[in-house]
Amino acid sequence: MTRSPTRRRFLQAAGGITLLAVGGAIWRAHDREVFVTPSGAPYDPWTLWNSSEYKNTPVALVAAGILASNPHNTQPWIFRLSDKQIDILADTSRNLGSFDPYLREMHIGLGCAIENMVLAAPANGYGTEVLFEEGSLLEIEKSGLVHAATIRLVDMQDRADPLYDAIPLRHTNRYAYDRERGFPEDLLRRLTAASGNEYVALSLFTEGEAFDALGRAIIEATEEIVADHAMIEDSHAWFRDGPDEMEKERSGLALDTAGLSPALLAAAKFLPALPAEQSHAAWLGQTRDSHVPSAALLGVISVRNRYDRPQSLAAGRLWQRIHLEASAASIAMHPLNQPVETIDRERELGKEAKSEARLTAITKDASWQPTFVFRAGYPTRSALASARRSVETVTEKT
């Protein structure tokens, strides 16, 4: 006759299973760094950027350049150094595919790096002359390294630009902002004063019909992107699943910088990575429910021709500079460039230019073409640093 298990045996078995489960959970939490702030080699460039080892050498400019804003943290750059010149090369292998079919956002990111380098130059005894590569983004070969710009260096007495110290403070903040606090008037005046030149313009909205319409355009464009299988797959390729993958790649997007609450972040890091459709549906939810409604300011950077290479680089320089201005004033910023990404995508597919018309109805000036959209406001949480490839990895010496 078979005996039924006693309560003691049942509890012993259950306890063993529980112990195994808890042990497995602890191991996974440790392996995935669920409760740990990211650190180590991928994040060292944020503290080494002004190292005495680099002082008064062209490498110091590169160390600042690699901390710049760039699309999806692709870091699409190579820097070729000589004693008196730095060539900035677009690494087209690090492109976003259908998300950036004309390398427009890539060139904006290169412009951001150039701005950081120009700001770092005086603190390291250099004056600079920046020369942009002429031509159209529509004609660029998407293979290998493509020359984008040259920074010529001349010796000068050390002095620091006021924004130099803000370089390591600038991070993309994807958390909700505190809209109730509004936007500081003094910073708004400074940003307006730095609004560009005859080829680059900055439009800032804090309320009213244009502000509301731009918010709707951002959400509508995000919905269109999430419905485009190719776009979300190309975007998803740059998401890194855990610390081991980030240690290897030192680029791309991580959960730690996704703007999730601490509880949701811990859960997301503990669980297996979501497929592209689900992760981008969550991004749409954030855009609709948090990013747009919490913004105190929405901004648009426009150029005369969004596919002109020098104008794209200049737009990047402006974006980097205003983001540094905001960071120095403890104001958060975050690109929401979806309405321009859908313009590129419609052009690539030969579709009706609905996205172009949507933005023109907001800016009300077809002679300016929007190329970058962003939000700003007082942060509710501090943003963490994103991973960076080392100076040595992205530098060539001649």
Element (H, E) at 225: helix 208-226
Averaged pLDDT for residues 330-345: 99
The pLDDT value recorded for residue 143 is 87
Crossing angle (nearest 10°) for helices 276-286 and 229-236:
90
CATH code for position 53: 3.40.109
The pLDDT value recorded for residue 27 is 38
Give residue-wise pLDDT tens across range 11-61: 455 544 443 444 444 434 444 455 568 889 999 999 999 999 999 999 999
Answer whether residue 33 is part of any domain: no
The pLDDT value recorded for residue 21 is 40
Using pLDDT thresholds of 50, 70 and 90, give the confidence band for residue 194: confident
* 190 and 111 assigned to the same domain: no
As a whole-number percent, the residues of the chain with pLDDT over 70 amount to 91
The pLDDT value recorded for residue 10 is 46
Q: For residues 11 and 97, which has the higher predicted lDDT (pLDDT)?
A: 97
The pLDDT value recorded for residue 34 is 58
Q: Is the pLDDT of residue 139 over 60?
A: yes
Q: What is the mean pLDDT of the chain?
A: 92
* 135 and 178 assigned to the same domain: no
Element (H, E) at 248: helix 243-249
* 143 and 250 assigned to the same domain: no
Q: Is the pLDDT of residue 131 over 50?
A: yes
The CA–CA distances, whole Å, from 140 to 103, 108, 147, 188 equal 8, 15, 10, 36
Cα separation, 381 vs 178, whole angstroms: 10
Cα separation, 104 vs 187, whole angstroms: 28
Averaged pLDDT for residues 157-176: 94
Answer whether residue 2 is part of any domain: no
The pLDDT value recorded for residue 33 is 54
* 55 and 85 assigned to the same domain: yes
Answer whether residue 24 is part of any domain: no
Answer whether residue 8 is part of any domain: no
Give residue-wise pLDDT tens across range 264-299: 888 888 788 889 999 999 999 999 999 999 999 999
Number of compact structural domains in the chain: 2
* 201 and 287 assigned to the same domain: yes
* 66 and 144 assigned to the same domain: yes
**In a 10 Å sphere around its CB, with 0-12 CB exposed, 13-18 middle and 19+ buried, how is residue 223 labelled?**
middle
Q: CA 247, 249, 252: angle at the middle one, nearest 5?
A: 110
* 214 and 157 assigned to the same domain: no
Q: CA 94, 97, 100: angle at the middle one, nearest 5?
A: 90
The pLDDT value recorded for residue 346 is 99
CATH code for position 304: 3.40.109.10
Q: What is the pTM of this model?
A: 0.91
Q: For residues 131 and 156, which has the higher predicted lDDT (pLDDT)?
A: 131
The pLDDT value recorded for residue 3 is 46
* 274 and 238 assigned to the same domain: yes
* 147 and 85 assigned to the same domain: yes
* 318 and 275 assigned to the same domain: yes
Q: For residues 83 and 16, which has the higher predicted lDDT (pLDDT)?
A: 83
* 222 and 357 assigned to the same domain: yes
Answer whether residue 322 is part of any domain: yes
Cα separation, 158 vs 127, whole angstroms: 9
The pLDDT value recorded for residue 28 is 41
Averaged pLDDT for residues 88-108: 98
Structural domain that includes position 320: 171-377
* 228 and 142 assigned to the same domain: no
